[in-house]
């Protein structure tokens, strides 16, 4: 049921922001927190906790044993969340994984990659979500996170990709995502409240950028005008 609900919300966004939509683009896979964390770590997720082990994938692969045996990793395992995986990046990720010198870890992650490949099938993107461990996580994953990851897919499929302009713009990708979630929930007036409630600095910035998007879109009253404003922002940032 939550899958249908999330899909109909994505469809509504597509209509109201003049975006292309195809229901087959939206797939998901439940994964362990361990695999979620390791995938984020190997990807270039800019979370400061991973940055401590290297800013580039090369450095992170070198330090992966150190990371897996650290208190940081234990702390990360308490998290829950999700991300999108991109089929075009699988090959590169596999190359990185093959450079891990801990054989057990290398085999484990290669097996995980195989599982991803199968689930992608013909799709370009796949939402990865951690399997919920309790009621609270279940509610969050199904009500918000699946939708959040699918909004990323919708935007990517429509070439609204800020971090493709430059890595440093990735806050816009999260900001527009939170903006669209709040748009669906009718909570755009509460963005400042969400910002002030958030303790984690990285996530606080998502709301700061959501507020920028709300400013940009505030008087755009048709799907066409909304899309145009977003595309104009992208071309400005490209300059
Ligand atoms: Zn996100």
pLDDT in tens, 100-129: 999 999 999 999 999 999 999 889 999 999
What is the distance in A from the centroid of ligand 1 to the CA of 119? Answer: 20
Q: How far is the CA of 174 from the centre of ligand 1 (A)?
A: 5
- Beta strands 82-86 and 125-130, pairing class: antiparallel
Ligand 1 centroid to Cα of residue 104, in Å, is 30
The rounded distance, in Å, linking the Cα atoms of 204 and 195 is 5
Dist. CA 103 → ligand 1 center (Å): 31
180-217 pLDDT tens trace: 999 999 999 999 999 999 998 888 999 999 999 999 99
**pLDDT beyond 80 at 83:** yes
For residue 78, the CA-to-ligand 1 centroid distance in Å is 19
pLDDT at site 44 = 74
pLDDT digits (tens, 9 = 90+) for 10-53: 999 999 999 999 999 999 999 999 999 999 999 877 788 999 99
28-31, strands of its sheet edge to edge: 28-31, 125-130, 82-86
The confidence score (pLDDT) of residue 45 equals 78
148 CA distance to ligand 1 middle (Å): 6
| 77's tokens | 């395992």
Q: Please state the domain extents for the chain.
A: 24-136
Q: Taking the CA atoms of the chain, what radius of gyration do you get in angstroms?
A: 18
pLDDT at 213: 98
**Would the CA dihedral through 98, 119, 3, 157 be positive or negative?**
positive
Residue whose pair of structure tokens reads 């990720």 in the numeric block: 93
Residue 59 alpha carbon to ligand 1 centre in Å: 24
Mean pLDDT of 219-233: 97
């Amino acid at each position: 049921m939550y899958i249908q609900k999330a899909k109909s919300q994505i469809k509504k966004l597509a209509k109201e922001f003049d975006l292309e939509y195809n229901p087959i683009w939206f797939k998901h896979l439940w994964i362990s927190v361990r695999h979620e964390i390791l995938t984020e770590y190997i990807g270039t997720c800019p979370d400061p906790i991973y940055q401590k082990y290297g800013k580039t994938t090369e450095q992170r692969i070198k330090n992966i044993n150190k990371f897996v045996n650290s208190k940081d990793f234990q702390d990360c395992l308490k998290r829950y969340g999700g991300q999108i995986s991109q089929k075009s990046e699988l090959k590169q990720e596999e190359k990185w994984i093959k450079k891990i010198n801990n054989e057990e870890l290398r085999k484990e992650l290669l097996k995980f990659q195989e599982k991803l490949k199968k689930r992608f099938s013909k799709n370009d993107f796949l939402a990865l979500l951690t399997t919920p461990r309790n009621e609270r996580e279940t509610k969050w994953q199904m009500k918000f996170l699946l939708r959040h990851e699918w909004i990323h897919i919708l935007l990517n499929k429509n070439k609204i990709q800020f971090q493709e302009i430059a890595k440093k713009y990735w806050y816009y990708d999260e900001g527009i995502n939170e903006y669209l979630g709040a748009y669906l929930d009718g909570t755009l007036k509460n963005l400042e409240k969400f910002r002030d409630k958030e303790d984690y600095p990285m996530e606080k910035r998502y709301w700061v950028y959501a507020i920028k998007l709300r400013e940009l879109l505030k008087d755009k009253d048709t799907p066409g005008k909304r899309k145009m404003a977003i595309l104009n922002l992208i071309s400005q940032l490209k300059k």
